[in-house]
Amino acid sequence: MSGNILKMPVVLRVSVGSKYGAQHSQDWSSLVAHIPGLKVVFPATPYDAKGLMNSALQGTDPVVFFESQRIYDVGELFHEGGVPEDYYEIPLGEPDIKREGRDITILSVGATLYTVMDAANELAGKYDISTEVIDARSLVPFNYEPVIQSVRKTGRILLASDATSRGSFLKEMAQTIAELAFDELDGPPVVVGSRNWIVPAYEMEEHFFPHKDWILDAINEKIFPLQGHSARNDFSGDEMIRRNKLGV
């Protein structure tokens, strides 16, 4: 409204994740990502959190900075040497390849990165499938080029986050990837998010948030069969239709 004269250098830290029920566990990043003018950041590692926070603080636009309570006690596992004491910045909007692979791409948002890494380890060890894992790190802005390059190599992509799947930003990403890489994809992007419920009590969260078995079952049902895999969860088209009819 000011024609870019007024600045709003505000960084809002938002803690989501688990253990506190519906009011504090829901990942509502898609709500703010829908609002033009807001930047939305969601790091999953200490190294990324520091670099992205420094970049956010140097800007003149409002930034909503999501943090997951689920990983507050997880140290730096990806950056050799841990988190540097010196100042550094990570540009907003640049996803990071956390694991290189050749058979399937998994794009992760937030704390689900660690669940995805567990799934990638099992895919490699048990099924000899090489997984490329990409950590989104930001939702708005977002550079799709590294993701499209990965899809050109693997031909398949699954997207995962702790947000409920209905209306999640994963669906926006999946639709954009399908448009940009239609000819490179061997099948449609597959989304694995949380259940479309109100977040339950902590004791029931294992039935709500995505875990390794969900990812493996979704790959087995929708992307390619995993030899010898016994699915525990139904990711079929019929089950998707049934749940949408019920609104869950």
Q: What is the pLDDT along the chain (248 residues), one digit of tens a residue?
A: 788 788 899 999 999 987 766 667 889 999 999 999 999 999 999 999 999 999 999 999 999 999 998 899 999 999 999 999 999 999 999 999 999 999 999 999 999 999 999 999 999 999 999 999 999 999 999 999 999 999 999 999 999 999 999 999 999 999 999 999 999 999 999 999 999 988 888 888 888 899 999 999 999 999 999 999 999 999 999 999 999 999 98
Contacts of 130 (CB under 8 A, 6+ apart): 101, 102, 103, 104, 123, 124
Residue 110 lies in a domain: yes
Is there a domain that residue 135 lies in? yes
CA angle 245, 157, 162 (to 5 degrees): 55
Q: Catalytic one among 24, 79, 211, 229?
A: 24
Q: Is residue 4, in this structure, part of any structural domain at all?
A: no
Buried b (16+ CB within 10 A) or exposed e, 112-128: bbbbbbebbebbeeebe
Spatial contact of 186 and 154, defined as CB atoms under 8 Å apart: no
Is 216 a domain residue?
yes
Q: Where are the alpha helices (DSSP H) in the chain?
A: 22-25, 29-33, 46-58, 112-127, 145-154, 169-180, 212-222, 237-246
CATH of the domain at 151: 3.40.50.920
Domain tally, the chain:
1
Within a domain: residue 152? yes
Could you tell me if residue 189 is inside a domain?
Answer: yes
Domain that holds residue 176: 11-246
Domain-located, residue 5 = no
24 belongs to the catalytic site: yes
Domain assignment of residue 186, yes or no: yes
